[in-house]
Amino acid sequence: MDISNKTVHYSGINALRLEWPAELSVKYGVLITFNEGEEKSNEVKYEVQITRLKPSAEGQPLFQIERTSDVFINEILPDLIADRLAYAVGKVFYPLVITVDQNGGFQRIYNHQEILQRWQSVKKKVLDNFEGSLVEGYIERMEKQLVNPDSINLAFLNNDWFIHTFFKPLYKEYGQNRNSESIYKFPIARGFNVEGYLTQEKLGAQSNSFGAIELIHNGTIKPLEDELYITNTATGNYEGYYLLHPKFKRIISVVSDFSYGAQEKAKVKVKIALIPENDQEFDHDFELDTNVKGLPVTEMVVLDGPSKKGFWDRLLNN
Q: For 126-176, what is each residue's pLDDT tens digit?
A: 999 988 888 888 899 999 999 999 999 998 988 899 999 999 999 998 988
pTM, two decimals, is 0.83
- What is the C-alpha separation between 192 and 115, in angstroms, rounded? 30
Phi, psi (rounded to 5 degrees) for 92: -60, -25
The residues with which 197 forms a beta bridge, in sequence order, are 184, 221
Query: In the structure, what pLDDT confidence band is assigned to residue 318 with cuts at 50, 70 and 90?
Result: very low
Q: Name the nearest CA neighbour of 273 among 4, 27, 23.
A: 27
Amino acid at 118: R
Phi, psi (rounded to 5 degrees) for 120: -60, -40
The residues with which 31 forms a beta bridge, in sequence order, are 45, 271
Contacts of 69 (CB under 8 A, 6+ apart): 46, 47
Using a pLDDT cut of 90, give the percent of the chain over it.
50
pLDDT attached to residue 120 = 94
- What is the C-alpha separation between 18 and 211, in angstroms, rounded? 17
pLDDT tens for 22-55 read: 999 999 999 999 987 666 788 999 999 999 999 9
- What is the C-alpha separation between 128 and 130, in angstroms, rounded? 6
Q: Name the nearest CA neighbour of 164 among 304, 54, 258, 37.
A: 258
Q: Is 212 in contact with 251 (CB distance < 8 Å)?
A: no
Strand residues in 17-125 grouped as ranges (E): 25-36, 40-53, 62-67, 72-73, 96-100, 106-109
Query: In the structure, what pLDDT confidence band is assigned to residue 229 with cuts at 50, 70 and 90?
Result: low
The structural domains of the chain, with segments of one domain joined by +, span: 1-18+173-318, 22-169
Using a pLDDT cut of 70, give the percent of the chain over it.
80
